[in-house]
Amino acid sequence: MIKLAIYGKGGIGKSTIACNISAALAAKGLTVMQIGCDPKADSTSLLHGGERIETVLDLTRKKGGALTLEDIVCPTESGVLCVEAGGPIPGLGCAGRGIINALETLEKLGAYEVYKPDAVIYDVLGDVVCGGFSMPMRKGYADKIFVVCSGEKMARYAAANICMAVENFKGRGYASLGGLILNRRGVPDEDKAAAELAADFETEVIASIDRSELIPQAEEKGECIFTFAPESETAAQLAAASDSIYSICGGE
């Protein structure tokens, strides 16, 4: 089983990329589980026709000890098993607690033994790398961390913080850095800026996605690129990204 986490600042496109990576791996015949670790709980919506699924945190509040795996794991037509951690009521509680609760609940209920996924993908908000948000990289949940960034200053700043967090855990048996995914925004010298950032952390830009109007169009329809525009260059770039990630994570 390969285990990876995709991090990035809010709005950088990490959930779109995560959904398309999940869909691409599922198309290879793999059993894929995607776990949304963003309080907005919209990580997996493109795999569900744009609809959001109920979160582990909300279902825990409703069902308590009667909660089952069937309640929280939602299969899709593409073959991806989806889970959303969820977050607190706005203004009340810590968003990171939702992630901690979800991951602990999945373990307690034996999700990985029951579903036997070939790949587990954690989609994690990276604006703040602390508490529950760092849990996938430091508790043995993920083996590799991939960071989505662009050439924009704040995206590079957030990416650097995420890479630094991974570096700080080096030597403890926690997740290691798999590389950067450049989601281009069309800013000057974007490829150079991403390459320099990667070099700072002794890693590489393992995939690049060009800016394309197809992406917001697909999102408006609640679809992944692979169903919305399967023959497009964007679909080819995302497929190449999934191949790179799978190879780096040790998939065969």
Which CA distances in Å does 150 have to 7, 46, 104, 189, 246? 13, 21, 32, 11, 22
Tell me the two tokens of residue 102. 């979800």
Options 3, 9, 38, 123, the catalytic residue = 9
Options 58, 71, 118, 127, the catalytic residue = 127
> Is 170 assigned a catalytic role?
no
> Is 127 assigned a catalytic role?
yes
> Is 118 assigned a catalytic role?
no
Tell me the two tokens of residue 105. 């609940």
Options 3, 14, 123, 143, the catalytic residue = 14
Q: Which residues are catalytic?
A: 9, 14, 40, 127
